[in-house]
Amino acid sequence: MAGYTAKNLKEIENQGVKFGLDESDIELRMAKDPLECSACGLSYLRLGPGYRPPFGHTHKTQEEIYILVNGSARMKLDDELVEMTPLTAVRVSPETMRGYEAGPAGAELIVIGTPRTGGGDADTVAGWWAD
Over its C-alpha atoms, the chain yields an Rg (Å, rounded) of: 14
Instruction: Confirm whether 130 is domain-assigned.
Output: no
Give the domain CATH number at 86: 2.60.120.10
| Residue 44 placed within a domain | yes
Residue 123 domain flag: no
Whether 41 is covered by a domain: the verdict is yes
Whether residue 37 is contained in a domain is answered as yes
Q: What is the 3-state secondary structure (H, E, C) of 48-67?
A: CCCCCCCEEEEECCCEEEEE
| Mean pLDDT, 10 residues at a time, the chain of 131 residues | 90 89 92 95 97 95 98 98 98 98 98 90 93 80
Is 1 inside a domain boundary? no
**pLDDT, position 1:** 57
Q: What is the pLDDT of residue 62?
A: 96
- Domain of 94, in residue numbers: 27-118
Beta-carbon-side half-sphere exposure of residue 121 (alpha carbons within 13 Å): 16
pLDDT of residue 2: 81
On whether the pTM is more than 0.85, the answer is: yes
Using DSSP, state whether 11 is helix, strand or coil.
helix
Is position 129 within any domain? no
pLDDT score, position 18: 83
Q: How many domains does the chain have?
A: 1
Classify residue 125: in a domain, yes or no: no
